[in-house]
Homo-oligomer: A and B are copies of this chain.
Amino acid sequence: MIYLYTGNGEGKTTAALGHALRALGYGKKIAMVCFMKGRETGELNFSKKYKKNFELFQFGAGNFTNLKKPSKADKLLARDALRFSKKLIQSKKYDLVILDEINVAVGFGLVSKQTVLKVLGKAPKDRVIFLTGRKAPPEFIKIADLVTEMKEIKHPFKKGIQAKKGLDY
């Protein structure tokens, strides 16, 4: 199954993480692959504490990827992430696999939509794959079983409030 979270509002990655927490309650195994993220986050720290069932793999430079002008290194990292995700999905070792920010990676041409569709097409049907990130391509929406658009109504960043550790990352 494919669960897709998109839209301009907050709650996409966290909704996938919430499913991880819920699945951990039933002893399931979760893997999260982070596209374009290579820095300390709550979920990364959590994976170190709970490594038996929740594994997190970051692919991304330590800094933020400049999406309007991604570097060659950014592209290589994103392609590595996708190859890695493919193996991980096919291993059937995990009940849930989160491909975090993959929609954005596709949107900015870091990885090709067709390659992602191929990986998803071959995924075992009894596992759940989560795709997150703004501006999901229509092809992803078409093949997904569940799609929620997270729509921003209000966001503290807009009032100049900075991202808080343990809350926003």
Residues of A within 8 A of B (CB): 1, 3-5, 7, 9-26, 28, 41-49, 95-96, 128, 141, 144-156, 161, 165-167, 169
Contacts and interface: CB of A to CB of B under 8 A. Distances in A.
Contacts of A43: 21-22, 25
Contacts of A22: 14, 17, 41-43, 46, 166-167, 169
A25 B46 contact: yes
Contacts of A166: 22-23, 25-26, 28, 95
Contact of A156 (B20, B145, B151): B145
5 contacts: A14-B18, A15-B15, A25-B42, A148-B151, A150-B150
State the copy count for this chain: 2
Contact of A146 (B13, B49, B148, B155): B155
A14 B152 CA distance: 17
Contacts of A14: 14-19, 22
A148 B152 contact: yes
Contact of A26 (B1, B5, B45, B151): B45
A148 B9 contact: yes
B21 A49 contact: no
A13 B48 CA distance: 24
A128 B28 CA distance: 28
A18 B4 CA distance: 15
Contacts of A161: 145
